[in-house]
Amino acid sequence: MPDTDVPESVVPFRILPALTDLNREFWTAGARGELRFLRCNACGYYNHPPTAICPMCHSKDLAPHTVSGQATLHTFTVNHQPWMPGPELPYVIAIVELPEQAGLRLTTNIVNCPIDDIEIGMPMQVAFEHHTDGEDEIYIPLFEPARSGS
């Protein structure tokens, strides 16, 4: 199971996503430790970012589907620029690719890993960061190095 116990001090301030019917599962399923994407029940395509019609087969029969939470580090950048107040500098922005579908990627942050140890191609796993804003419980999917055997 993915680790849900990441300290919130890693990146204390976040701009949170506006929740919609289409994206709600993606941003909240971390409460159960799950990373979920909208997937087409007709052809199996993971449709991200989510839209109401499958771009491959045009079916409207889509539903959230839980993936493994595993990923491969596709690329990363060490960000030193204070774009917004809050994040401790530097921090790492990354794109990870999920094994469930070629080209299914997420922009994310890498946590729980010394910057010098980060390498493109390394196996990663999701680590959720919990935020409460009003009535919304939002879980941001961050990624950390995969533990061997996990």
Partner 1 sequence: MSKYIEKQTVISGVGQSDVGRRLFRDPLELTLDACLAAIADAGLTTKDIDGVATYPGPMSVPPGFSGAGVVDVQDALRLELGWWSGGIESPGQLGSVINACLAVAAGLANHVLCFRSVYEGSAQGSKGRSAVMPGGGGGGSFRASGFMEWTLPFAAPSAAPWIALMAQRHFHEFGTTREQLGQIPLTARKNAALNPKAIYTDPMTMDDYLNVRMISSPLSLYDCDVPCDGATAMIVSHVDTIADLRRPPIHVEAVGTALRGRPSWDQFDDLTTMANRDAGAQLWQRTDLTPSDVDLAEMYDGFSFIALTWLEAMGFCPHGEGGSFVEGGQNIARDGGVLPLNTHGGQLSAGRLHGYGFLHEACTQLWGEGGARQVPGDPEVGVACAGGGPLAGALLLTTHR
Euclidean distance between CA atoms 3 and 35, whole angstroms: 12
Q: Do 91 and 11 contact (CB within 8 A), yes or no?
A: yes
* Complex with partner 1: residue 1 or 15, whichever CB lies closer: 15
Q: Do 125 and 146 contact (CB within 8 A), yes or no?
A: yes
Q: How far is the CB of 85 from partner 1 (least distance, A)?
A: 4
Residue 74 touching partner 1 (CB under 8 A): yes
Stretch that binds partner 1, among 1-9, 36-44, 63-71, 107-115 (CB under 8 A): 107-115
Burial of 20 (0-12, 13-18, 19+ CB in 10 A): exposed
* Complex with partner 1: residue 34 or 129, whichever CB lies closer: 129
Phi-psi region of 134 (alpha: psi -120 to 50; beta: other; left: phi over 0): left
Per-residue interface string for the shown chain with partner 1, residues 15-54, x marking contact by CB under 8 A = xxxx----x------------------------xx-----
Contacting residue, 29, 40, 67, 140, with partner 1 by CB under 8 A: 140
Residue 66 touching partner 1 (CB under 8 A): no
Residue 84 touching partner 1 (CB under 8 A): yes
Phi-psi region of 69 (alpha: psi -120 to 50; beta: other; left: phi over 0): left
Closest CA to 28 of 142, 104, 131: 131
Residue 95 touching partner 1 (CB under 8 A): yes
Q: What would the two tokens of residue 4 be?
A: 């849900």
Rule CB under 8 A: which residues touch partner 1?
Answer: 11, 13-18, 23, 48-49, 74-87, 90-91, 93-95, 103, 105-109, 120, 140
